[in-house]
Structure 1
């Protein structure tokens, strides 16, 4: 898929679940629960020593039994990490920061790069380095109204807040009414309780509920 195809899938889904767990089996079962709910794009985060091997295991599962699923990797801050996960089969790369050398490696590989930004200067730097979408992080610091305050400065940019996005219809609708095209959902969706107690059916049900809210947003 092209970068534009992947952007299209994320914006059509209107959300991007993200998570990490050190246990491979738990990581796989969370992905299966999300897929069962209808999710077709997921960000696994590079937040532990086990991330690379877990990602490879997830890639294998996706290739074997999850047609249409896009598997991205997040929290990529260095060129070395970017190269590692590109070689492991990442469909897209998400960074918590704007680091041009990572942007170049990812884009040279033909993949989508989504950097994390907070200030207008960071959004501009991301744009100048080829970003088509930015992750506003942490979203809880600025709130939904921040998007509408800066969006007109960057008419070609797509905004996706992460951190502070709740699963309630009220919160989700507020973000979209202020101009985002998707929301990143981590612990508010894939909670510690879900991970610790292996509540995979509950995760599928909650994810379906969030997707229904998103599908009703005009």
Structure 2
């Protein structure tokens, strides 16, 4: 896997998802999530997996139940991202050999997620905890913990988050909004990758 960025395609439709993902992958982002509150999300996931499964880590966001973890797996997905720290969702994800990224905001949730087997933590909403909050939480987490900021993180402030100990980002409306063309998404993705590379180089 390349850059530590997950593209969040909330609201994307199955008939546009492959073309949109093509631009995202060409820009250099190889982790893609389709939130389950999008239209026909399992169809979209299956289409992306069929087109790009060898080149990208693909899965779902807003995953709230173990049953939906199974449905993502059945569609070919390998990535489970949630807005909350739900231990049964984490355990089911790991049982199926998938990556688990639960949403957390407090130290209690962070450690509950890690104890349940999460691969990494999604600080959500990132702007609620903020850079200073992340810095404080990061100080008590195991140093090898992967921590992504989602919500409030973008090209203009990547450096602040990285300085606080963030290792990656989930980007939603900054890369895709309903109605955007594949060309618009590609432009956004290029700008995000350029900013990320400047900070990480």
TM-score between the two structures when normalised by the length of structure 1: 0.85
Partner of 1:6: none
Whether contact under 8 Å (2:146, 2:167) holds in the other structure is yes
Deviation (angstroms), 1:176:
0.6
Deviation sequence 1:102-152 (CA, Å, 0-9, x none): 111111111111100011110011011112310000112121221111111
Give RMSD over aligned pairs: 1.6
1:212 deviates by: 1.8
Gaps of 5+ in 2: none
Structure 1: which 5+ runs fail to align? 1-8
Alignment check: 8 A CA contact 1:20 1:51 kept: no
Match status 1:79 vs 2:66:
yes
Residue 78 of structure 2 corresponds to 91
Which residue of structure 2 lines up, in the alignment, with residue 3 of structure 1?
A: none
Please tell me whether the aligned partners of residues 158 and 199 of structure 2 are also in contact (alpha carbons under 8 angstroms).
Answer: no
Cα 1:113–1:207 change in 2 (3 A) is same
- Secondary structure at 1:173's aligned position in 2? helix
1:119-134 aligned within 5 A: 119-134=106-121
* TM-score, structure 2 as length reference: 0.91
SS of equivalent to 1:143: helix
What residue is the counterpart of 1:41 in the other structure? 31
| 3-state SS of paired residue (1:127) | helix
The answer to whether the 8 A contact 1:20-1:27 is kept is: no
Q: Please tell me whether the aligned partners of residues 134 and 158 of structure 1 are also in contact (alpha carbons under 8 angstroms).
A: yes
| Cα drift, residue 180 of structure 1 | 0.4
Q: What does residue 146 of structure 2 align with?
A: 158
CA distance in 1, matches of 2:175, 2:158: 12
CA distance in 2, matches of 1:16, 1:78: 21
> What are the Cα deviations for residues 21-62 of structure 1, in whole angstroms up to 9, with x where unaligned?
352122222211201212211111111351112222222222
Query: Number of paired residues?
Result: 199
Q: C-alpha displacement at 1:101, in angstroms?
A: 1.2
